[in-house]
Chain A
């Protein structure tokens, strides 16, 4: 213990296997032709292709953003393949036709898709590289009028809904990575919950990157109509590789009058090795619009993976009395870097937002909280409560906090609390003196630190999140 609380003996990433499956990959490079090819493969209508091309033309004029507190070499966008799909694309309606290798892959990841093994009460959309391979419980959901399917399918089957809402929260030219995503997105999930329906089960999407030298660009759109309620969870993982793979997703949420959307993320992309080789660049735009009166959007994220994370799930609180929430645990170990936080834009009257951010840094990890709370002129009596806690394990990591507060209405009430703590030898010794191992002690201390966030996760996943946190910090304490 003398050399400090961090022997760098690291547990290998547990989801790093590669599925050996024949896949159809377009050659690396990005051009209008590639976009046309993707659109054609997806069987998209003309408006969709036009939208993609508009995004692409904008993207070409945009500079890559570098204001985040992370460092990485230049990304060669022409060296990435923008489409990869397992061959013999299965029909979505029947699992019998899904390649057994794919079923096996998801089973290995703890996401059984076969009827008899399915997680009770959770409908899963499984996305493998650029395509959705299966969506479970669709019929059951349809009975309640809930649409849950791959977005590529939604574009074909429910074009009016998609056209009405796609890009309405995150426009195609919102930012560099969102524009790129709009041009080349391949799959993702679409959810529509009709008026007054409480979605009878948890919805979830599991994203798996498998193919080499590809990027993953998924797009998710969730629309909760008046008075409806839905809870959605996404999980993800990728093989161990020396190269950096780009993941640039866009998630848009729309909540109408009195609707509630709860969106949870357990992000476990490959983080790279202890020297910082490989790992996913996780550059994601997530935003929800509380468009209706008294609507509510709640983001909960547990971010343990990725070499670099750049993501700020936010809420635009347009409707009066609407509520935005952001609960986050971000872990950076080894040489991981995260710059993450939220944006809460208060427009409507009596809008409320809550931000609880827990950053944990170990190894040489760098963890930054960046958050914007903006109260616009018309947002009478808006309230925000922010709490940013950082925990340091060892003495080579860093924690940074950049809160931005912009208030333009004097009736607003803002609270901000922040703390930084260090797992001390005394805490670990105390737990050891009661018989616990150092690993168990750290896991317990960290889980206690994150409790306020974990309790926001759907119960089925809270345990998974705790376990994951234990794994990503394994070896960080000597």
Chain B
């Protein structure tokens, strides 16, 4: 059972209350409310410029955004008071819309540094290179990927699609409690999208949750969301089940702009 229709049984993992955030003095989020329970997959959809990526970045703690009002609780703790690296170590993962390249550092090295930073935080013994590679190979096999990504420098010289895949590889290895995927589906061809979506779906467990930020219905044909939210002009204006995504696919977003906000 991967959590479908079992909302009530999950614990509240993330609670966003009346979140306002701005960048360079411009308010982008104007009162977002969102509750994510373990075992759930949420899709956040919406037109360009509605604040979807801002929400993802604010949850991860990007320094360019400032929170002006509201509250975010993660496992009952004040997420906004935590430094970005602390959030990561506590199990919050953001798959970046535009992953950043690090020249001269292999994926394997980067991943091990990340895994060990998290292990150290948890008070678990850090992994040596050999142990780590063994653990990694197992993960790769489990998700059906080969190891060619590991020896390449982090996102350096990667195509757009490869970068997105690489984010998902990191997701699989770091195994967070809360995964936020910021438009991971854009820039992927149909086959790559399918692989990525299937990987994300395989990682679903009753004790973790996923927030998918997306423009398109397409990815949701591979990953069944429990809830679909529409973000428009910095607020969630409508929430519903999977059918809402289908409706959006057919009707676009314009019809929602006339509806009153569900604050």
Give A contacts to B, CB under 8 Å: 1-2, 424-427, 429-438, 440, 444-445, 447-452
Asked if B153 and A432 sit within 8 Å, CB to CB, the answer is no
**Inter-chain contacts of B61 with A (CB < 8 A):** 432-433
- A55 → B minimal CB distance (Å): 43
Closest to A454 in B: B104
**Inter-chain contacts of A447 with B (CB < 8 A):** 104-105
- The interface residues of chain A, by DSSP majority, are classed as helix
A426 and B100 contact, Cβ closer than 8 Å, known pairs A1-B63, A435-B88: yes
Asked if A436 and B64 sit within 8 Å, CB to CB, the answer is no
Rounded to whole angstroms, the CA-CA distance of A407 and B8 in the bound complex is: 77
Asked if A435 and B102 sit within 8 Å, CB to CB, the answer is no
Asked if B104 and A430 sit within 8 Å, CB to CB, the answer is no
Asked if B100 and A448 sit within 8 Å, CB to CB, the answer is no
Asked if A432 and B85 sit within 8 Å, CB to CB, the answer is yes
A448 and B153 contact, Cβ closer than 8 Å, known pairs A430-B96, A435-B121: yes
Asked if A427 and B104 sit within 8 Å, CB to CB, the answer is no
Which of B63, B84, B89 has its CB near the most chain A CB atoms (within 10 A)? B84
A448 and B103 contact, Cβ closer than 8 Å, known pairs A429-B63, A436-B117: yes
Asked if A433 and B113 sit within 8 Å, CB to CB, the answer is no
Q: What are the nearest 3 A-B pairs in CB distance?
A: A448-B104, A451-B104, A435-B117
Which positions 94-131 of chain B face chain A at CB distance < 8 Å? 94, 96, 99-100, 102-105, 109-110, 113-114, 117-118, 121
Asked if A435 and B60 sit within 8 Å, CB to CB, the answer is no
Rounded to whole angstroms, the CA-CA distance of A435 and B103 in the bound complex is: 19
Rounded to whole angstroms, the CA-CA distance of A174 and B129 in the bound complex is: 50
Contact partner, B64, options A425, A427, A438, A452, Cβ 8 Å = A425
A434 and B105 contact, Cβ closer than 8 Å, known pairs A444-B113, A448-B153: no
**Inter-chain contacts of A432 with B (CB < 8 A):** 61, 83-85, 88
Rounded to whole angstroms, the CA-CA distance of A431 and B60 in the bound complex is: 12
Rounded to whole angstroms, the CA-CA distance of A450 and B103 in the bound complex is: 9
**Inter-chain contacts of B110 with A (CB < 8 A):** 431, 434, 444
B57-95 interface bits toward A, Cβ cutoff 8 Å, 1 = contact, 0 = none: 000111110000000000000000001110111000110
Check if B208 is an interface residue, CB within 8 A of chain A: no
Closest to A436 in B: B117
**Inter-chain contacts of B117 with A (CB < 8 A):** 434-437, 440
**Inter-chain contacts of A452 with B (CB < 8 A):** 104
Check if B170 is an interface residue, CB within 8 A of chain A: yes
Rounded to whole angstroms, the CA-CA distance of A424 and B102 in the bound complex is: 11
Which of A424, A429, A437 has its CB near the most chain B CB atoms (within 10 A)? A429
